[in-house]
Chains A and B, each alone.
Chain A
Amino acid sequence: MKAALAELQIELTPYQINTLSQAAYTGWVWTTDNFHKMTILPETKQILFNTIIYVTFTLLLFNVGFALVLAIATFYLPKGQAGIFRALWLLPRISPSVLYVVLWKWLTWDTGFLNAILNPLGVAQRNWMLDTTLNAWVFVVLINGFIGASMGMILFSSAITAIPKPLLYASEVDGANRWQQIRFIILPQLKWPILFVTVYQCLSLLTSFEQILLSTDGGPGSTTEVWALAAYHNALDNYWGNLQYGYGAALALVLVVIGVIMSFIFLRFFRFQELVRQPRIEQ
């Protein structure tokens, strides 16, 4: 599938888009057809599976896993070096997503950097991002993971800095080597931040599709089409202009329900009672 909307920009005037959109919107009708359709379409199973893969791998490998590695590693480095690495790993997050994703394309495309390096070594030229399903997944996870790792990195870093220094000193004079210090002292102290990041990022990943839209756009085929992207495609970015607002909205509603449920779980983590304490003036 092509980025249809982007193409529409070139070929149609805004007036035409407007007309098209209005023509596609059929008005209010009460119906459960869209949900019924969701349960019978084979694509549903596929995008559900894709979403699970996408969220699980990105979350475990990067948003929590690699974020922990980054936070702990930079903690053991001198301030200056640690600052450089943290700044570098924040670049993907602060860069505009369009630019960031294209940098990955530059790395992986047919005429990209990887090929320029590997070609002389006898590796056949190819589009590394899209030539196989596995590669597409690897890069979807990498692209999202490089962005996602920074939030965990910052949160974990500040949590580690908050561990009283004497605790770490004590463990060292008690004979703990670095791995034991991480395992017995640092990680137990990060229990809550890890839980927080896991839930929060799980929710974010479930509903994020911007980077996938810009990189693989669900391809090759629809092997990396995740739930949120499917909702977007169906409602707003259909190749044939045959926009199905209703079905897209139904897909999105599923995410909304999951979002609300997880947000409530979130409240428990936040210790809501404490946060809504009564004001101390004008009681």
Chain B
Amino acid sequence: MEIILEDFTKRFGEVTVIEKMNLKIREGELLALLGPSGCGKSTTLFTICGIHRVDGGRVLFGDQDVSRVPAQQRNVGVVFQSYALYPHMSVFENIAFPLTVRKEHKNTIREKVAEIAELVHIGELLKRRPEQLSGGQQQRVALARALVRKPSILLLDEPLANLDAKLRLEMRSEIRRIQLETRISAVLVTHDQVEAMSMSDRIAIMKEGEILQVASPTEMYQQPINDFVAGFLGNPPIAFLDAHVQEGEIHLLNRKIQFNFPGSSMPTNGTKIRLGIRPEHYQPNNPIQIPGTISFVETQGRENLYDVMLDDGSILRSIQSSATESIEKSAQVLWGIQPDKVLIFDQAGNRI
């Protein structure tokens, strides 16, 4: 089902957390709400499921306005960050709960629970209690409980935050598999850009109650709308250099380095700009060479991450395969950037 937030406004007392937000979740897609903590992404999620109510605007499920409909009647499946499994009930009772409170027939409940347990691979755990399960298993139970009622939409609130690194990888693909198999519209709230990029069809990136950009992961990575988005996506993060425009050329580092402005909408002479350069685009064999001194080396196994300090004290990052010979700290390097891969922002941070 298609979900639409229309001019959605949310206040807590005097504080307006979200003002006039618009967002559309397409039928069958997994949309990630990505942003730093406190940006209002969980508030948005809780509003969709009805735990919070809108203070302005509307929430539409298909063409039905559910803004004033209590959570009980919205038929939304939610997986909470802490999973919120009912500790005094068995796994079966937990999954069956949404059906029990709807007073469905016992046999129907048993069939539906069995079916969903099969889907999330916990068929053999039904008799256990939540505290006897591992984190990943609890996660699966929570998923099953959210899905068993065939919800209009599935909401996932930081579903991987409480898992250790290895399980996180596993559950990442599991959640995606289950979502694809059920073809259910889903919203994933997360502060982890890797999670958002790897799991979702589209990402909506949020900051201070506002949606900055909605796009597919690749598009957002390559064409960020501003420096915040560019900085939030990508690990190791993008590096920024100050520069200015002079007669169709970009000058940086006290004019020592100059190259042609790559885009078409050229700013006027003397405009101050910021260059965003991703670590994978500052490499030994690129055309525009920028000299510097290695100030920090981080070994990541498959790759090495280098921080390179330039003459004026600014830092560029480079990530290189560790198969090549590794470079010591304090070594002088002359690596280069590729003009068409450089992201250019104005002083306000907006992409030019």
Q: Chain A interface (Cβ within 8 Å of chain B)?
A: 164, 166-167, 169-177, 180, 184-185, 188-189, 191
Contact = CB atoms under 8 A, between A and B. Distances in A.
Interface in B95-112: 97-98, 100-102
Interface string B83-125: 0101111000000011011100000000000000000000000
B145 A174 contact: yes
Given A167-B86, A188-B88, A174 B101 contact: yes
B217 interface: no
Contacts of B222: none
Please report whether the interface of chain A is mostly helix, strand, loop or mixed according to DSSP: helix
Contact of A172 (B50, B82, B100, B102): B50
A170 B84 contact: yes
Residue among A166, A170, A173, A189 with the most chain B CB within 10 A?
Answer: A173
B84 A167 contact: yes
Given A176-B72, A176-B101, A180-B101, A170 B88 contact: no
Given A166-B81, A170-B78, A173-B78, A184 B51 contact: no
Interface of B: 46, 49-51, 70-78, 80-82, 84, 86-89, 97-98, 100-102, 145, 149
A223 B343 CA distance: 91
B88 A175 contact: no
A172 B75 CA distance: 10
Given A173-B74, A173-B77, A166 B82 contact: yes
Contacts of A172: 50-51, 70-72
Nearest to B46: A169
Nearest to B151: A173
A189 B76 CA distance: 25
B101 A164 contact: no
Contacts of B145: 170, 174
Contact of B71 (A164, A173, A184): A173
Given A176-B101, A184-B89, 14 more contacts: A166-B84, A167-B87, A169-B51, A170-B86, A170-B145, A171-B101, A172-B50, A172-B72, A175-B98, A175-B102, A176-B72, A184-B100, A184-B101, A189-B88
Question: 4 tightest A-B contacts by CB?
Answer: A166-B84, A170-B84, A174-B98, A166-B80
Contacts, number: 67
B78 A184 contact: no
Contacts of A189: 87-88
Nearest to A187: B88
B72 A184 contact: no
A140 B98 CA distance: 45
Given A169-B46, A172-B72, A176-B72, A164 B98 contact: no
A184 B77 contact: no
B97 A173 contact: no
Contacts of B49: 173
B247 to A, nearest CB: 59
Contacts of B100: 184
A175 B80 contact: no
A173 B101 contact: no
Nearest to B80: A166
A188 B89 CA distance: 9
A216 B184 CA distance: 68
Nearest to B88: A188
10 contacts: A166-B81, A167-B87, A169-B46, A171-B97, A172-B70, A173-B77, A175-B102, A184-B86, A189-B88, A191-B88
B50 A173 contact: yes
Contacts of A184: 86, 89, 97, 100-101
A169 B82 CA distance: 12
Contacts of A180: 101
A171 B82 CA distance: 14
Contacts of B73: 175
Contacts of A185: 86
- Which of A167, A169, A176 neighbours the largest number of chain B CB atoms within 10 Å of its CB? A169
A176 B51 CA distance: 13
| B46, B81, B97, B102 pick with most chain A CB within 10 angstroms | B97
Nearest to A178: B72
A173 B51 contact: yes
A191 B100 CA distance: 21
A72 B145 CA distance: 26
A180 B71 CA distance: 14
